[in-house]
Amino acid sequence: MTDGRRPITPTRVIPAGQPLPAPVNPPPPPPPPAPPAVMDPDPGWWRAGSAGSYGPPPPVPVDVHVTVTIDQGGPLIPADPEPRPRWWQRIRIGYNLALAALSLSLAGPWAAVLAAVRDEESLTGAWVMALIPLVILGFVDNAKRAEAVGAHPDLWAPKWRAALARLLLWAAVIGTCLALPLTTLVYALTGVKPA
């Protein structure tokens, strides 16, 4: 070779099928030296007898006192929100009375439909027919009212949708009250079964 490296020459060739020689174990490292003995400067063996106490003194209990101060003010503390009125205090009586009066034009036809079902089919069928729209309109009214409360004050569409849902709910309630409860009470008290 011209680059100055010496080629590797094998020192021994082991034929195939022959076991490899056991590796030569290096001698174990010498054990570490023992730590130097430290003499206690004041063993006290003459005071406590031949079996005097050696080592550190027993631990002394430490009393730790912690004082915590909580600052209730400052610019980072949010102000307490104003208490909101209860749900019965938020009922807008004028708004609901106006919608109930407007819903009478829809409540009359709905009451006529329920009365026809009551007279021609059954009282139970009329109640089922009345309660399903009441439940659905109740959920829709609740959702639209929450949407209107959470909307920007300048938006009119959520307010109109909430008013329409409340108008339909009032129409369903008034129509049901006109057609079914009185007849159901009469049937229950007199025992008369519809023909």
Instruction: Concatenate the DSSP letters of all residues of 39-102 into one string.
Output: PPS---HHHH-TT---SSPPPPP------------STTSPPPPPPPPPTTTS--HHHHHHHHHH
Contacts of 117 (CB under 8 A, 6+ apart): 125, 126, 129
- Residue 62, in any domain of the structure: no
Number of domains in the chain: 1
- Residue 149, in any domain of the structure: yes
- Residue 6, in any domain of the structure: no
What is the CB-side half-sphere exposure of residue 163 using CA atoms within 13 A?
Answer: 13
- Residue 166, in any domain of the structure: yes
Claim: this prediction has a pTM higher than 0.75: no
Which domain does 171 fall in, by range? 93-190
- Where is pLDDT greater, at 35 or 130? 130
pLDDT digits (tens, 9 = 90+) for 106-144: 999 999 999 999 888 888 899 999 999 999 999 999 999
pLDDT digits (tens, 9 = 90+) for 65-98: 888 877 666 666 666 777 777 877 778 889 999 9
- Residue 26, in any domain of the structure: no
- Residue 22, in any domain of the structure: no
Among 178, 160, 166, smallest CA distance to 102 is for 166
